[in-house]
């Protein structure tokens, strides 16, 4: 797949390396790309270049930055799949309230009405986004997905599978409300209860053979 990634922090770097190392054509966009390097062979440039590159564009910037970053580029996202990996957080990682009838994912879909938004990867800590930890026995890490366009959700499901995670489709984009709640819970355990960020959700069918 041709994948653009916006953001080159913890999540952007990890997913760019995973996608690139599994054969995807990755271009990462960031604010000041001059001199930015990586060992995985993906390209780094402006946010505009990354957006133009990808049939699929993954958001790996703070949710609070999305409106300012995405609104001027809205037309460039026409027809693209947008993977929303963001979580609505305050600076101290506590939840930013979106109300009961909203989510970061749905807000981003309103900013980019001509794109197909799929919520994914937001409930996986960047610290476990490495091949050995993703695939660790007995069960790979689960990536939960939510989106309204079936074809786009299927494409992201294949992308998830290509890096060794186990995809679970949860239904329409409004389920981003619950996936973002899972991320808040993950952070509450990791930070509030000192559980650390080397952990991950695994969805396990106990009746499967
Ligand atoms: N960390 C995790 O474990 C994790 C897991 C799942 C989801 N998430 C979500 O993924 C997103 C990225 O998290 P992260 O941990 O990768 O954050 P991070 O390490 O702080 O990196 C943030 C990236 O966003 C860019 N950025 C920040 N403010 C910006 C702005 N106003 N305009 C444009 N770019 C801006 C930064 O660019 P510069 O390099 O130019 O500063 C940087 O590349 C967040 O929404 C977070 O909630 C995080």
Q: Which residues line ligand 1 (CB under 6 A)?
A: 7-12, 30-32, 60-63, 65, 69, 85-87, 89, 122, 124-126
Residue 140 — left, alpha, or beta (φ > 0 → left; ψ -120 to 50 → alpha)?
A: beta
Give the tokens for residue 197. 């960020």
pLDDT number for residue 209:
78
Chain centroid to Cα 185, Å, comes to 17
Chain centroid to Cα 148, Å, comes to 16
pLDDT number for residue 208:
87
Q: DSSP secondary structure string, 32-91?
A: S-TT---SS--EEE-HHHHHHH-SEEEE-S-HHHHHHHHGGGGGGGTT-EEEE----B-T
Ligand 1 pocket mutation pick from 62, 91, 103, 122 by most atoms within 8 angstroms of CB: 62
Q: How far is the CA of 205 from the centre of ligand 1 (A)?
A: 33
Residue 87 · residue 122 · CB < 8 Å? yes
* Ligand 1 atom 7: residue of nearest CA: 122
Residue 143 · residue 168 · CB < 8 Å? yes
Nearest alpha-carbon partner for 87 in 7, 192, 157: 7
Residue numbers of the chain with a pLDDT score lower than 70: none
Decide: helix, strand or coil at residue 143: strand
């Amino acid at each position: 797949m041709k994948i653009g990634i916006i953001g080159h922090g913890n999540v952007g770097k990890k997913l760019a390396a995973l996608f690139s190392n599994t054969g995807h054509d990755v271009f990462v966009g960031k604010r000041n790309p001059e001199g930015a390097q990586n060992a995985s062979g993906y390209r780094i440039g402006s946010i505009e270049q990354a957006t133009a590159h990808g049939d699929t564009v993954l958001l790996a910037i703070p949710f609070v930055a999305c409106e300012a970053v995405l609104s001027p580029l809205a037309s460039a996202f026409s027809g693209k799949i947008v993977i929303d990996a963001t979580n609505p957080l305050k600076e101290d990682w506590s939840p930013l309230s979106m109300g009961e009838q909203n989510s970061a994912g749905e807000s981003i879909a309103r900013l980019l009405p001509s794109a197909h938004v799929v919520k994914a990867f937001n409930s996986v800590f960047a610290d476990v986004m490495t091949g050995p930890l993703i695939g660790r026995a007995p069960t790979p890490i689960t990536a939960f997905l939510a989106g309204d366009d079936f074809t786009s959700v299927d494409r992201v499901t294949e992308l998830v599978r290509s890096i060794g995670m186990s995809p679970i489709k949860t239904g329409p984009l409004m389920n981003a409300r619950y996936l973002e709640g899972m991320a808040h819970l993950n952070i509450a355990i990791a930070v509030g209860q000192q559980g650390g960020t080397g952990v991950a959700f695994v969805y396990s069918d106990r009746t499967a053979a």
